[in-house]
Amino acid sequence: MAAVTTALTASALLTTPALAAPTDDKIEPQLLQALDAKDSTDFWVLFGEQADLAPATKITDWTARGQAVLDALRGTADRAQAAVRADLDAGKVDYDSYFIANALHVKGGSQALAESLAKRAEVAEILAPRAYSLPELTPGEVQATVDAVEWGVAAINADDAWADFGARGEGIVVGNIDSGVQFDHPALVGKYRGNNGGAFDHQYNWFDPSEVCPTAAPCDNNGHGTHTMGTMVGGDGANQIGVAPGARWIAAKGCESNGCSEAALLASGQWMLAPTDLAGQNPRPDLRPHIVNNSWGASNGSAVDPWYRATVQAWRAAGIFPSFSNGNSGPSCNTSGSPGDNVESYASGAFDINGAIASFSSRGPGENGDIKPNLAAPGVNVRSALPGGAYGANSGTSMAAPHTSATVALMWSAAPTLVGDIARTTELLDDTAVDVDALTCGGTVDDNHVFGEGKLDAHAAVDRSPRGPVGTLAGTVTDAATGTPVSGASVTVTGPSNRTLATGTDGAYTSTLPVGEYAVAATAFGYGQATGTAAVTEAQTVTVDLALTPAPRDTVSGVVRNAQGGVVANATVQILGTPLAAVTTNGEGAYSIADVPHGTYQIRATAGGCNDPRQVELVVDGAEALDFELPARGDSFGHHCVLEPSSYVEGDTPLALTGDDQATAVDLPFGFFYYGATYRQAHVATNGHVNFLARSTSFGNTGIPGTAAPNAAVYPFWDDLLIDAQSQVLTKTAGTAPNRSFTVEWRNATIYQQTTTRLDISLTLSENGEIAMSYRNLDAANPRETGNSATVGIENATGTVALQYSLNTPTLSNDTTVRFKPPASGTVAGEVTDANDRGAIEGAAVKILSGGATVATATTGADGRYSMRLLAGDYTVEVSKQHYVSATETVAVDGDESANFALRTPGAELTGGPLTFLGEAGQLRSSTVSLASTSDLTLDYTLSNGASWLWAVPGTAAVKPGGTQAITVRVDPVGLTPGVHESTLTVTTNAGRTPTITIPVKLVVPAYRKGLDVGGGGLTDRNADVWVGDQAWQPGGFGYLSGGPVVKSGKAIAGTEDDTLFQTQRESPGGYRFDGLPAGTYQVELGFAELRAGFVPGRRVFDVSVNGTKVLPRYDIAASVGVLTADTHEFWVTVPEGGSISVELAALRGKSVPVINTLRVTHRPDRTS
């Protein structure tokens, strides 16, 4: 399955299997990486419980066996998934459930949702989706036919099996999961199970899970699926391309285009187990195919990816043979692709017309050393059907697997007892394969990893099948009234072996059957049933001719209207399952179908575009009137579209955007709400699309949705456009809020390499979420201009939801605007404030919840405001921020709603800082600050210091509402050099406004400090400051200059807490001197107290000078403060290195002598003057 050959290949090596063993946290790392990159993405939820399918394998009845498997799988999935589904439904999360693998595909899930689901015991794994690709078919050389059949048919001796055993696949249904099938290809149309004699009923016969095809009919936009189906059953007489041309086919489009999503592949596998109607309802396991061909897989080297194992196990339990291609990654060993390398899968390698293994054919071994491929089949230059009624040769193991699938059809047709017996069928295929000596990858001649069991031999396989004695049943079905043959009649044969046959153009049918008694019944459109019996004997032909009686006929007519009540012209009305031609409504929406035989029918009206089809049951027993109202077409998100008279809007501002495959970014004038997200920038591409995620210049349009870029995109005309010198891309902004619009116009654009083609395209985005696409100057006669190579529609950000108006269909018109309307929505807006101060809170997280799941988030701005647009519905708004108490409010969004929040938080207020300490080594200093709780919540705090000399207690505490906590701040200058030391004490709180409070702390360590206890012997004061005893000055020292008398008092001194310091004084000291000082600024502190109680003001008056400067002239203690009261003063002086400070106390004539009580000189490195 390499890119140069034809098969489905994984786009990257799958080192982690999609169903790998669960990790401890259950969430795959790739998914977590994706969720880190964006808010939401798709993911798979896998459940641990698996159904017990063993009992079903013992059931012999085909219908009962299939039903048993379906019931077991559904019951297990319903039980295991119930709780998770209920939560997802409540949260309005989009998802799909797959019972076949007990898995959910969640669309646009958040990381919070994934983590929540991972906590559930019933959930085994949560995985990221994978992307698969389908390479283009590589044309090969057409080889010569052998006896009028293709070389591959002859190489496996299938034509000999037809001749010798009469086995061509009659009664067997094959299915393929591929890129689709051209159902009306000449080589396939007669074999399609949905062909009812020229009319087609696609219900239970065709499945398009991604809705890629433009109608309900099968399509193939790649060619791969048509080719593989042709190899299985194809043939139109001249082109004998199929191995089992008598078998009938059904198909599922597991690959959207050149890519295959896991969701489509899994849905297709589930549909094969129990086909459904076109609405995906009413599964019928009795209509499952006998064989499913899978020419796709992952090129994952030696790794084994078991993600499809549960599907294959379910098929096998139901009796469906699982045929796979082995991969195109040869010639190296260990290159088998998954799921073909799984032990449950039967995988085919490829050989060429000379019997040599193809170089590209992947080699084994497979899982657990299993022989892979199981065998080899023709796979080089295989000619088969291609879309458009064509034929062509291609190469790949994709071409080999259909040979094997169809050989099983021959075996089961010839030996009905083998039907559903997978083990016996596998054994016969293995035993009859022609051994090849090819041991380059190990093994033996019988079983090796190049050819497997050998080369496929259909003749030998059928010959060895338990056919038993057989005979032939033949007959002709005719019109009882005219005797003419009835072509396409269904002949049901019931007996020892059941068959469903179809008559040819001559009305004839034939089948080889085991001997025994049979009931034969024939039906055809427009006729009643005819029955007969047959006794089939060995080697004999028994003839049962049946004549059908025509039924009476009448007319069915009516009017088709749209959801708005308007008539729908050109709608198609068809009676399903009949050969009656579909009719088209006229300009008034009317239709009429004549000659409808009496009976019960399903009648379907389709119009495409913005209308969904409608199907009703009608009993025709006379002329019938049947009107249709077509539902508006929509997507799972809630968008729908309507058609309106053209409202083309021109742009007025040219963009700098020209050339081929170019794009540019534009800022939108408003936030555009699109698929649940709001975008403010768009990327405009020359190729007719605008996306909101990233620049994309993709020119190759595909069906939508699709996971490949662009996504979150609007496609008014996605095609390979060219903006040349005659073209422009323009924009226009119109209107006022909240009704603004933004238009992008591609004017006079041309199509690449078709420059004579010119067209105008207008795309308008409205502030209310509507999207209008209008067209001008389209040439109605040129289908390229009207969209036959373009995609028109809208798509979500993950490529999982879309509303596709048209795909490669010429439906666009100058007269019509296609308007996409979003589901009802509204805004939730509000302000988040602090409940204490009523101020705005910036940075609060606003989360919108629905059913417990987060659907939108926002963050408040500096003004505390937020605003989000949401789909209409009930939501919970949750607001949170660190240190605040979260708050919620329920809102019902049906317009513009407000939700304001005042968040509670502790309040914190600190008093007492900043702090400055003055201390010498050995002197511990402390001070107190207060932390108050100013709200009704408890305030918690923790302290941290920024220096080793700084600490505070208590380091942590809880302050009750309204309470205050005193915090003692301490410093220790030990070991510090003289100077200024600064640090910060940090208070960390749980207060929203003040989560961190800093207290600047300064510690001044002086180079010199002397405090004198004047008249005393020295003491340590209440602040732990040391005051030395009074002493006489000596040169180079400090002290008083003359020794006047000392006065003492035992009385209390007011104005101080250190009474003792002021209870002694010296009279007439003459002054004090301090010598040998370090350079710097000094603080000189003087303390006075009048100790003589009788000294009234005016009695003791003197001058005080510092270094010759009079600082207290005519100082009178009693006049200043009274007696027995401390009076302190401080002065600042600058001293040079080695300088002195002198304090002079000068008596005044007629006054009492000067006195002084305390004196302190301190170097202050924190001051410059």
pLDDT-based confidence at residue 1144 (cuts at 50, 70, 90): very high
**Whether residue 515 has pLDDT greater than 60:** yes
**Closest to 252 in 3D by CA, of 277, 228, 225, 291:** 225
- How many Cα atoms sit within 13 Å of 619 on the Cβ side? 1
pLDDT-based confidence at residue 459 (cuts at 50, 70, 90): very high
- When the pLDDT of each residue in the chain is averaged and rounded to a whole number, the result is 92
Q: What is the pLDDT of residues 463-499, one digit of tens each?
A: 999 988 888 999 999 999 999 999 888 899 999 887 8
Q: What CATH superfamily is the domain 470-548? A: Carboxypeptidase-like, regulatory domain (2.60.40.1120)
pLDDT, residue 41, reads 87
Q: Are the beta carbons of 759 and 778 closer than 8 angstroms? A: yes
Residues with Cβ < 8 Å from 946, sequence gap 6 or more?
Answer: 983, 984, 985, 986
Identify the bridge partners of residue 127 per DSSP, sorted by sequence position. Answer: 44
pLDDT, residue 146, reads 66
As a whole number of angstroms, the distance between CA 892 and CA 828 comes to 9
Taken in order 742, 731, 866, 636, the sign of the CA dihedral is: positive
Helical axes 158-165 vs 397-414, angle rounded to 10°? 10
Q: Judging by DSSP bridges, how do beta strands 173-178 and 248-253 pair with one another?
A: parallel
Cα→Cα distances 785→57, 641, 743, 777, Å: 56, 21, 21, 9
Domain ranges of the chain: 19-129, 151-464, 470-548, 553-629, 640-821, 825-884+899-903, 908-1005, 1009-1163
- Main-chain phi, psi angles of 272, to 5 degrees: -60, -35
Q: Are the beta carbons of 978 and 1005 closer than 8 angstroms? A: yes
pLDDT, residue 960, reads 97
Q: Judging by DSSP bridges, how do beta strands 490-494 and 516-523 pair with one another?
A: antiparallel
More confident residue, 772 or 89: 772
The first and second tokens of residue 495, run together, are 């007996």
Summarize the confidence of residues 998-1012 as an average pLDDT: 96
Poorest-pLDDT segment among 442-456, 696-710, 854-868: 696-710
Multiple choice CATH, 1009-1163, 3.40.50.150, 3.90.930.12, 2.60.120.430, 3.40.50.300: 2.60.120.430
**Whether residue 14 has pLDDT greater than 60:** no
- How many Cα atoms sit within 13 Å of 613 on the Cβ side? 17
Residues with Cβ < 8 Å from 824, sequence gap 6 or more?
Answer: 638, 871, 872, 894
**Closest to 232 in 3D by CA, of 181, 297, 179:** 181
As a whole number of angstroms, the distance between CA 879 and CA 900 comes to 10
More confident residue, 607 or 1: 607
Cα→Cα distances 718→486, 683, 842, Å: 47, 14, 43
Name the burial class of residue 484, with classes exposed (0-12), middle (13-18) and buried (19+) by CB atoms within 10 angstroms of its CB.
exposed
The first and second tokens of residue 1114, run together, are 């005519």
Share of the chain above pLDDT 90, in %: 75
Poorest-pLDDT segment among 286-300, 520-534, 698-712, 974-988: 698-712
Please report which helix (H) or strand (E) contains residue 819, including its range.
strand 816-821
DSSP state of 56: G
**Whether residue 19 has pLDDT greater than 50:** no
pLDDT, residue 147, reads 62
Q: What is the pLDDT of residues 73-126, one digit of tens each?
A: 999 999 999 999 999 988 888 899 999 999 999 998 888 999 999 999 999 999
**CATH 2.60.40.10 is the classification of domain 908-1005:** yes
pLDDT, residue 982, reads 96
**Closest to 194 in 3D by CA, of 186, 202, 183:** 202
Cα→Cα distances 39→107, 639, 866, Å: 12, 22, 18
SS3 997: strand
Name the burial class of residue 521, with classes exposed (0-12), middle (13-18) and buried (19+) by CB atoms within 10 angstroms of its CB.
middle
DSSP string of 1068-1130, one letter each residue: S--EEEEEEEPSEEEEEEEEE-B--TT--TTSS-EEEEETTEEEEEEE-HHHHH-BTB-EEEE
Q: What is the pLDDT of residues 535-544, one digit of tens each?
A: 999 989 999 9
Q: Are the beta carbons of 486 and 503 closer than 8 angstroms? A: yes
Q: What is the pLDDT of residues 1060-1070, one digit of tens each?
A: 999 999 999 88
**CATH 2.60.40.10 is the classification of domain 825-884+899-903:** yes
- Positions annotated as catalytic residues are 178, 224, 398
Identify the bridge partners of residue 997 per DSSP, sorted by sequence position. Answer: 987
Summarize the confidence of residues 1032-1045 as an average pLDDT: 93
pLDDT-based confidence at residue 198 (cuts at 50, 70, 90): low
Q: 222-260 burial string, b = 16+ CB within 10 Å, else e?
A: bbbbbbbbbbbbbbbeebbbbbbbbbbbbbbbbbbbbbb
pLDDT-based confidence at residue 5 (cuts at 50, 70, 90): very low
DSSP string of 571-604, one letter each residue: -EEEETTSSPPPEE--TTSEEEEEEEESEEEEEE
More confident residue, 798 or 1: 798
pLDDT, residue 20, reads 36
The first and second tokens of residue 175, run together, are 């299915």
pLDDT-based confidence at residue 1075 (cuts at 50, 70, 90): very high
**Whether residue 550 has pLDDT greater than 70:** yes
Q: Are the beta carbons of 226 and 6 closer than 8 angstroms? A: no
Q: What share of the chain is helix, strand, coil (3-state, %, to 5)?
A: 15, 40, 45
Q: Are the beta carbons of 536 and 471 closer than 8 angstroms? A: yes
Q: What is the pLDDT of residues 714-742, one digit of tens each?
A: 999 999 999 999 999 999 999 998 899 99
pLDDT, residue 502, reads 79
Summarize the confidence of residues 1033-1059 as an average pLDDT: 95
Question: ∠ CA(213), CA(610), CA(720), 5° rounding?
Answer: 55
**Whether residue 52 has pLDDT greater than 70:** yes
Residue type, 1037: G
Multiple choice CATH, 553-629, 2.60.40.10, 2.40.50.180, 1.10.10.10, 3.40.50.1370: 2.60.40.10
Q: What is the pLDDT of residues 20-51, one digit of tens each?
A: 334 458 999 889 888 887 778 899 999 999 99
pLDDT, residue 115, reads 92
Please report which helix (H) or strand (E) contains residue 78, including its range.
helix 62-90
pLDDT, residue 1020, reads 94
Topology adopted by domain 19-129: Alpha-Beta Plaits (3.30.70)
> Of how many residues is the chain composed?
1169
Residue type, 104: L
Q: Are the beta carbons of 728 and 798 closer than 8 angstroms? A: no
As a whole number of angstroms, the distance between CA 41 and CA 34 comes to 7
**Whether residue 300 has pLDDT greater than 80:** no
As a whole number of angstroms, the distance between CA 677 and CA 1068 comes to 91
- Decide if 553-629 and 908-1005 have a common fold: yes
Name the burial class of residue 1069, with classes exposed (0-12), middle (13-18) and buried (19+) by CB atoms within 10 angstroms of its CB.
buried
Q: What is the pLDDT of residues 1105-1127, one digit of tens each?
A: 999 999 999 999 999 999 999 99
Q: Which CATH class is domain 151-464?
A: alpha beta
SS3 1006: coil
Summarize the confidence of residues 611-638 as an average pLDDT: 93
The first and second tokens of residue 660, run together, are 């081929």
**Whether residue 71 has pLDDT greater than 60:** yes
